[in-house]
């Protein structure tokens, strides 16, 4: 027999009615702010809009990604079985190349080249164009876990894999 207490909303078991049955697991609560933008944020937005309006019309027509301009010189090369967008002075990683650390390498499979205002695309590769680079180090990528399982058959296989990589820095792009 259950008797409820009308004023407090409790049963005879002295547990709240909301928790009498199944207790829901606690979950993190996501709060959504309903505050309006502050005056300072509105002033910054107005200043940005005024700067865009004052910019020359020729720059307004050119789309840029995240307000970045395209580099002056870059190339698209095929190295280690992948195609990469490379610039001089930056380092990249690719699948392991059969070279030693500190060696100078020449990447001859150049698919496209941009120098200044000229842009050239090869069919499939550009002749007489190469990218020179220096090997910085040989390293291994992050461990990937391969887990195979067949339910109810007691078949479990867990193996790991780390890809062998070569890190190189592009020193020169040229014809």
Per-residue pLDDT of the chain (175 residues; tens, 9 = 90+): 444 444 544 455 555 555 555 555 566 655 555 666 565 665 566 566 666 666 655 555 555 556 667 788 999 999 988 999 999 999 999 999 999 999 999 999 999 999 988 999 999 999 999 999 999 999 999 999 999 999 999 999 999 999 999 999 999 998 7
Strand (E) or helix (H) holding 43: helix 39-54
Residue 130 · residue 108 · CB < 8 Å = yes
pTM for the predicted model, two decimal places:
0.58
Closest CA to 76 of 117, 129, 28, 137: 129
Closest CA to 173 of 131, 115, 110, 126: 131
Residue 72 · residue 116 · CB < 8 Å = yes
């Amino acid at each position: 027999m259950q008797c409820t207490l009308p004023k407090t909303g409790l049963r005879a078991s002295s547990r709240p009615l909301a928790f009498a049955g199944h207790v829901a697991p606690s979950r993190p609560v996501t709060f959504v702010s309903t505050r309006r933008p502050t005056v300072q944020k509105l002033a910054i937005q107005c200043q940005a809009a005024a700067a865009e309006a004052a910019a020359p019309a020729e720059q307004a027509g050119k789309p840029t990604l995240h307000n970045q301009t395209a580099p002056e010189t870059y190339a698209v090369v095929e190295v280690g079985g992948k195609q990469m967008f490379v610039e001089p002075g930056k380092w990249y990683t690719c699948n392991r190349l059969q070279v030693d650390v500190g060696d100078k390498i020449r990447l001859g499979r150049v698919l496209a080249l941009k120098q200044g205002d000229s842009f050239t695309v090869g069919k499939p590769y550009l002749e007489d164009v190469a990218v020179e680079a220096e090997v910085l180090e040989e390293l291994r990528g992050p461990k990937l876990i391969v887990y195979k399982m067949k339910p109810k058959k007691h078949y479990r296989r867990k193996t790991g894999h780390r890809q062998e990589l070569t890190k190189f820095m592009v020193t020169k792009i040229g014809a």
